[in-house]
Chains A and B, each alone.
Chain A
Amino acid sequence: MAIVGVGQTSYKRAHTELSSADMIWTAAELALEDAGMGVDAVDVIVMGVAPDALAGENGVEKTAIFGAGKPYVRVNTGGVTGSSAAFAGASYVGSGRAKVALVISLERMGQATTSQQVFNTIFDPVYEKDFPLTTITMAALRASLLMRVYGYSERDWALIAARNYRNALRNPLAHIHKDLSADDILASPMLAWPIHRFEACPMSEGACALVIAAQSAVGDRTGAWVQGIASTSDSYAMGDRFHRPEGTLVDLLSLRRSAERAYADAGITDARTDLDVVELYSPFSSAEAMTYPALGFCEPQHGPRFIQEQLTDASLPVFNPSGGPQAANPVSATAMVRIAESALQVRGMAGEHQVPEARRAVATGQGGATQFSTVCILGAERPE
């Protein structure tokens, strides 16, 4: 199967001129147009919408129901919602029950005035509610551990963030268009040691849609062929992930397992040479570092060196040509945006931020406190 249509709204703090349904329809329309299909060709619609509290609307996806009698279901897996929804659509196609799946994710957090408090409610009300646990502090706890165990420095986090902002300058849809240097980032206020404000992601609104077609329905469209898909869920409690033999807190076990399966399906044996583009879901620049060993780019202890290599070694894949979540983080959609951007790259349709001759891309998704991880490999090669 292949992705034959991509639709995205722009990503910004608030789409004040659009209702939630408008945003969904806009992305869907753009994706169908790109696919050269009408809504009648669609067999199933999978919606991806994460915490209702961010939109302040319960079941917000229902307000946009369209397609006169099509199956219409909603996935909600927090940060990985976008990829879970895409994978759900892919299963409908893979099962033969659908020839074409339209998957759409919506982030409406522009309607929230206290979104961080919403994020706080993801934690366990029995044991954790009384602590200042937030997505930021959880990420900081991991960043601090990475520094101790693998020798990363604060400057490493800033370099990653700077690269993301620079790439975003060539993505007209991104939320943040600022050429921030590592020094600018290190000078920004500290949120929770060692994370600085400009290493965290923005709160973005937007919608993203994909048209996934079975091979028999692709015709002569340019497709981003799905070569591997995998998803893995881990234990909830971060404290449970320190001492186990399977992998520590910063080994990002759920991503490693997903990558192993997706790479096997896609025939990828060396991530450094087999991939041209990497679109990573890392809501904090420090979180990116955990993905490198899990995705097979380097050994964990060589992570800091790998960050330097990205700056100098042109044979490595390009990381986050779209700017990544640092430049736009519409939470429910972010993981689908990684897939959408990867699809645009291997189809040669990424415009100003096109990576030349991109043939194969990997898109990752992350949810919870690195509890859920997804990996999707897309390629330009049509299978026999």
Chain B
Amino acid sequence: MPIYVEGVALEVSFADARRNLSELIFDAVRAAVDDSGRDMGEIDSVVLAAHDLVDGRSLSSMVTAPAAGAYLRDETRYSDDGAAAFAAAMTRLEAGDNTRSIVAAWGRCSEHDPDAFSRALFDPFMTRPLGLDEFVLSGMRAQIYLAGDGVREARSRATSRRREAARRNPRALKSGGFTSTPHYPLEETDMPLWADITVAMVLSTEPAAVRVAGMGQSSEPYLFGDRELRSIRSLEWAADRALADAGLGGDLVDLAEVDGLTLIDEALGLEAVGFATRGGGMAALADDPRANPSGGGASGYSRPAMGLMRIAEAVLQLRGSAGPVQVDGARTALASGSSTVAGQTQTAIVLAAA
């Protein structure tokens, strides 16, 4: 049975000392529930995506789940990307285990050190002693990708377009935030803008403006050396499954919101989901207003919220309420979320205006 998105809320901020993490989460979830027009009594499930090492405490959902509406409800927390939590919430509703679910994800870069988090993702034996972090892997990918025809030239245009989109997107971070030091050949403008992100939605089987048309998930091997560096195979497979699930056949979606840690990862991601041809992902980011219209990582970034933030932007697009970054006439969208470490696991969601 089809799942619908009844409510959505997204907030990007930075170092707002007036609110602790729980209060930021409460504000986003409260806003999503208000947006849905439902009351808390109609909600029986809460599915969260959050990471202990981002939140700064073990079992961080003890204190954050109540802020997300979990009181006496069936709540679970994924230490995984927000899009994976969205997929899990779908299965709960489809199985009839629950009738209406909050989905929420967050990450507060003003409270933790994203570089330290990234270094700790690497196994203590083969990779951590080398001082690897995820940007090293993105850099290696970029090294290969940037050698392609016209990619470097498209990259500077993509950078301008992305900066402009982030400026026009009312939901993007307007002040504050920071970026990590880029490793060659990455440049500062390729890097995600670390910010404080909270995003929440309400899903149910009752018709609403946006329908979830398809879902697909996949994974690839852990060791980077075991993977193809020139593509994101797990995202290809996840998107194939989602598009097949949506019954869209070979038709392209009207817009894509693809998660990628850096600009290069976003370009590769667009190719992986079939929104751009092989080698054409950077050109799509440069020239196609339907490719990451939100401004992608330039609008604000924090693990593990990004897949859900991509879905939220896509939902707003399909409702026609994306504001200055609206893609006219958008009826279908594909959004994706990428996990650590270097996107080994991916979730793709296809949405349609109902």
- A-B interface contact total, Cβ < 8 Å: 175
Chain B contacts for A125, CB-based, 8 A: 56-57
Q: Is A91 an interface residue (CB 8 A)?
A: yes
B188 to chain A, nearest CB (A): 25
Cα–Cα, bound, A72→B222 (Å): 12
Among listed B158-166, B174-182, B213-221, interface-contacting one: B213-221
Contact pattern, A 206-244, Cβ under 8 Å of B = 1, otherwise 0: 000000000000000000000001111111100000000
Cα–Cα, bound, A369→B344 (Å): 33
Are A78 and B345 touching (Cβ within 8 A)? no
Cα–Cα, bound, A49→B79 (Å): 9
Are A91 and B88 touching (Cβ within 8 A)? yes
Given contacts A73-B78, A73-B217, contact A94 B91 (CB under 8 A): yes
Are A233 and B74 touching (Cβ within 8 A)? yes
Among listed A50-58, A153-161, A285-293, A351-359, interface-contacting one: A50-58
Are B79 and A75 touching (Cβ within 8 A)? yes
Q: Which of B295-316 contact A (CB under 8 A)?
A: none
Tell which of B76, B97, B221, B345 has the most Cβ of chain A within 10 Å.
Answer: B76
Are A65 and B220 touching (Cβ within 8 A)? yes
Are B76 and A231 touching (Cβ within 8 A)? yes
B342 to chain A, nearest CB (A): 9
Q: Is A110 an interface residue (CB 8 A)?
A: no
B212 to chain A, nearest CB (A): 12
Tell which of B65, B88, B91, B233 has the most Cβ of chain A within 10 Å.
Answer: B91
Chain A contacts for B57, CB-based, 8 A: 121-123, 125
Q: Is A189 an interface residue (CB 8 A)?
A: no
Given contacts A57-B123, A62-B341, A65-B345, contact A76 B219 (CB under 8 A): no
- Identify which of A54, A64, A253 contacts B72 (C-beta below 8 A): A253
- Identify which of B20, B63, B75, B219 contacts A72 (C-beta below 8 A): B219
Are A73 and B220 touching (Cβ within 8 A)? no
Q: Is A172 an interface residue (CB 8 A)?
A: no
- Identify which of B65, B66, B123 contacts A63 (C-beta below 8 A): B123
A and B contact pairs by CB, cutoff 8 A, 20 listed: A45-B219, A50-B58, A53-B53, A57-B124, A58-B117, A59-B121, A59-B340, A62-B222, A62-B341, A64-B222, A69-B233, A74-B80, A75-B79, A97-B91, A118-B58, A121-B56, A231-B76, A233-B73, A236-B62, A236-B66
Q: Which A residues contact B (CB, under 8 angstroms)?
A: 19, 21, 44-45, 49-54, 56-59, 62-65, 67, 69-79, 84, 87-88, 90-97, 118-119, 121-126, 229-236, 246, 253-254, 257, 367-369, 371-372
